[in-house]
Amino acid sequence: MKNEQMAAYLTHYRGRPLRLMEVCGTHTSVLYRSGLRGMLPAQVAMLSGPGCPVCVTPTAYIDRLTELSLTPGVCVLSFGDMLAVPGSKLSLAGARARGGRVGFFYAPEQALKIAAKEPKTCFVLAAVGFETTAPVWAVLAETILQQGIQNVRLLTALKTMPLAMDALCETGDIDGFLCPGHVAVVSGSESFRPLADKWKKPMVVGGFTPELLLRALCRLLREAGERHSGVWNEYPAYVRRDGNSKAKAVVARVFETGPACWRGLGVLAGSGLYLRGKYAALDAGSGALYDDRAPEGCCCGKVLTGALTPQQCPLFGKACLPEHPVGACMVSSEGSCRITYLERGDSL
Amino acid sequence: MKIELRHGAGGADTAGLIDSIFARHFHNAVLDKMEDGAVLPRPAGELVLTTDSFVVQPLEFSGGNIGRLAVCGTVNDLSCMGAVPKYLTAGFILEEGLETDTLERMVASMAATAKEAGVSIVAGDTKVIEGNGGMYINTAGAGIRPQGRCVSAANLCPGDQLILSGTLGEHHAVILSSRMGLQTSLKSDCAPLNAMTEALFSAGVSVHTMRDITRGGLATVACELAKASGCALAIEESALPVSEGVHALCGILGLDPLTMGNEGKLLIAVPQADTAHALATVKAVPYGENAAVIGTVCAGSGVTLQTAIGGRRVLSPLRGEGLPRIC
């Protein structure tokens, strides 16, 4: 179908009401930027899932990072998005303002260059992400050991997606998933097959241009509308059935699975990745960071599981704003609260 | 040689630095007098003043450097007010450890850009602080606005057409790629635009509003204009010029060209009757070859984007840090 035909199919969908979830934060962002969210008919609700690594990271992890940043001789390096996420007392930006050492990088490899300039400082890297970034962190860990770098440690909050989607199916009334294309590049479209078989739902892997997203949405509407289950790969230029074997191999060499705490979903056994064997010496205390005390009134957990829309949170647009976020979903550029707030357009 | 604290102490070392670098490159009749202030002829028309500070990292990037940026930024602010830029002052804050060769390259680039823009650097200052070899520049600028030019953000009228003078996002993309260590063929669009604005006035175009698109990108500028004028702006995504290189980088990094900064692009609002003439004029001058009509001013408020795929999106100004130290 041409774009115009797909757009017409989308806007004229009159099938059964659907609650669909886009898991990936980049999909949330493109749905907004492309105007596709506004083209959906009234009976189709797109819910944002737990696919923004900053949003699902529990408070205990932020607290551990801020504590490290305030430790003499230690510097925390992180992706920029993480700096404003509130911990139970401080964000990383707040810790920096109080004398903590916090820097940021655009790509994890940069962190090694920063660390090489200050051999007497211990650099702790905030290694967050999903299947997509895990291979990058794995290669970095191998490099650190191979080169004998002594002053770099990782505080990991790496998670794998299918177990979180499984938990969502258990609790939510979701009719189908727009599956994360970047995750699928690494893990393969077939990684969603067990979920489709177990829960009898359609799983559609989508790309990230407006055209690819439109294609994936049309597929998802059609299959979910007719209660079909299965896996459809609508991002075939990059996603193979079995994914990227090299990336999977390096992750398996460096990491082992363990329990991980997801904001909104709690602790899910086997959904986290932790440094294993000889690589465990690089770990800066990533285990058992389960405490996720949200600030009073914050509903990020419910927003991340599709139980509430951002507007249904009592703090949204009032106490919680992009300028002074209460919850992580208002911080990240892929957070659904932030995106929804900016989409309203009355925020100038 | 490296800059040391003594170079900013105000004594012989400071004088030596001024003679060997600043005076040599900026040389003009007013500056050469080396007085405490520049004595300038009283202009006919309105005097327009502006100031801007430049802290970009890295100091040198593909297509420009902090020196060229410091001249362009101030020249473009004056030009957008309808003024003819005439004079600049330059204040330098240098960190100890800066290579004097680097400083000289920046100063030479400022001089060359000032010459291109037809402005004189008539006063300056240098301080040296502790640090790691960085440098910062403040430029203030004075321009003269001839009578009858009424250009203001408040002047947008329903029916006006919006012209964008070229492709979006180059400067931002170059700075980001440089910090990430990515090899690209992109060049910063950093350029003085006073020839472009003068061409519009010379051609008799009734310019309502002009803004240079810097930090925050087109979305931020459009929202500011909508608010200042009490009008709505409707922009067509498919009309927006974006180079292949920037488009590719945005795809890889999840960036939006609408909130990426430029340093050599204008958003211009003109009455509908003048649109074709204005567009042809901009396209005929340097830095304007990719200009396009990208939208319309309407009654109402806010900024909307008609997306290429047939959707509609409300644009908001950039929130949060964006990319720090881009200019």
Q: What's the pLDDT at B181?
A: 83
Q: Which has the closest alpha carbon to A49: A298, A279, A244, A303?
A: A303
Neighboring chain B residues of A325 at a CB cutoff of 8 Å: none
**Is B315 an interface residue toward A (CB < 8 Å)?**
yes
**Is B309 an interface residue toward A (CB < 8 Å)?**
yes
Q: Which residue of B has its CA nearest to A347?
A: B316
Neighboring chain A residues of B181 at a CB cutoff of 8 Å: 107, 109-110
Neighboring chain A residues of B321 at a CB cutoff of 8 Å: 80
- Which has the minimum average pLDDT: A164-178, A250-264, B260-274? A164-178
Mean pLDDT over residues A237-249, rounded? 96
Alpha-carbon distance of A39 to A42, in angstroms, equals: 9
- Is A328 within 8 Å of A335 (Cβ atoms)? yes
Q: What's the pLDDT at A138?
A: 97
- CA within 13 Å, CB half, B88: 33
CB within 8 Å: A343 and B305: no
User: Does the pLDDT at position B171 exceed 70?
Assistant: yes
User: Does the pLDDT at position A233 exceed 70?
Assistant: yes
Q: Which residue of B has its CA nearest to A213?
A: B309
Split at pLDDT 50, 70, 90, the class of A117 is: very high
More confident residue, A54 or A253: A253
Split at pLDDT 50, 70, 90, the class of A348 is: very low
Cis omega before residue A259 (within 30°)?
A: no
Q: What's the pLDDT at B42?
A: 85
Mean pLDDT over residues B52-69, rounded? 96
Which sign, positive or negative, has the C-alpha torsion A176, A178, A180, A181?
Answer: positive
User: Does the pLDDT at position B321 exceed 60?
Assistant: no
Give which of B227, B247, B252, B319 to mutate to test A binding, by max A Cβ within 10 Å: B319
User: Does the pLDDT at position B182 exceed 90?
Assistant: no
Split at pLDDT 50, 70, 90, the class of B27 is: very high
Q: What's the pLDDT at B324?
A: 55
In the three-class reduction of DSSP (H, G, I as helix; E, B as strand; rest coil), residue A251 is classed as helix
Q: How many residues does chain B have?
A: 327
Burial of A183 (0-12, 13-18, 19+ CB in 10 A): buried
Neighboring chain A residues of B251 at a CB cutoff of 8 Å: 208-209
Tell me what the pLDDT averaged over chain B comes to: 94
Mean pLDDT over residues A81-102, rounded? 92
The vertex-B183 CA angle with B181 and B188, nearest 5°, equals: 95
Q: DSSP states of B211-238 as a string? A: EE--TTHHHHHHHHHHHHHTEEEEEEGG
- A2-11, A241-250, B4-13: which is most confident: A241-250
Q: How far is A71 from chain B (nearest CA, A)?
A: 23
**Is B168 an interface residue toward A (CB < 8 Å)?**
no
Residue A312 has φ and ψ, to the nearest 5°, of -80, -10
Burial of B306 (0-12, 13-18, 19+ CB in 10 A): middle
Q: What's the pLDDT at A66?
A: 97
Q: Give the B window 208-227 contacts with A, CB below 8 Å.
A: 223, 226-227
Split at pLDDT 50, 70, 90, the class of A242 is: very high
Which of B176, B254, B319 is nearest residue A342 as measured by Cβ atoms? B319
User: Which CA distances in Å does B189 have to A84, B18, B60, B103, B287?
Assistant: 31, 30, 13, 22, 8
- CA within 13 Å, CB half, A215: 17
Q: What's the pLDDT at A105?
A: 87
Q: Which residue of B has its CA nearest to A107?
A: B180
Helix, strand, coil percentages for chain A (3-state, nearest 5): 45, 20, 35
Give which of B182, B314, B318 to mutate to test A binding, by max A Cβ within 10 Å: B314
Would you state the torsion angle of the CA atoms of residues A263, A266, A269, A275, taken in this order, to the nearest 10 degrees? 40
Neighboring chain A residues of B238 at a CB cutoff of 8 Å: none
Residue B267, amino acid: L
Alpha-carbon distance of B285 to B166, in angstroms, equals: 11
Mean pLDDT over residues B63-67, rounded? 97
Q: What's the pLDDT at B43?
A: 83
Split at pLDDT 50, 70, 90, the class of A347 is: very low
Neighboring chain A residues of B226 at a CB cutoff of 8 Å: 348
- Is A265 within 8 Å of A307 (Cβ atoms)? no
**Predicted-assembly ipTM surpassing the 0.90 threshold:** no
User: Which CA distances in Å does B224 have to B214, B228, B315?
Assistant: 12, 6, 11
**DSSP 8-state class, residue B324:** S
Mean pLDDT over residues A226-233, rounded? 97
CB within 8 Å: A33 and B313: yes
What is the reported pTM? 0.88
Alpha-carbon distance of A152 to A119, in angstroms, equals: 9
Q: How far is A155 from chain B (nearest CA, A)?
A: 22
Could you give the angle at which helices A245-254 and A134-146 cross, rounded to 10 degrees? 60
CB within 8 Å: B319 and A39: no
Alpha-carbon distance of B310 to A36, in angstroms, equals: 8
For chain A, the first-to-last Cα distance in angstroms comes to 39
**Is B308 an interface residue toward A (CB < 8 Å)?**
yes
Q: Which residue of A has its CA nearest to B250?
A: A209
Mean pLDDT over residues A93-105, rounded? 93
Share of chain B above pLDDT 90, in %: 88
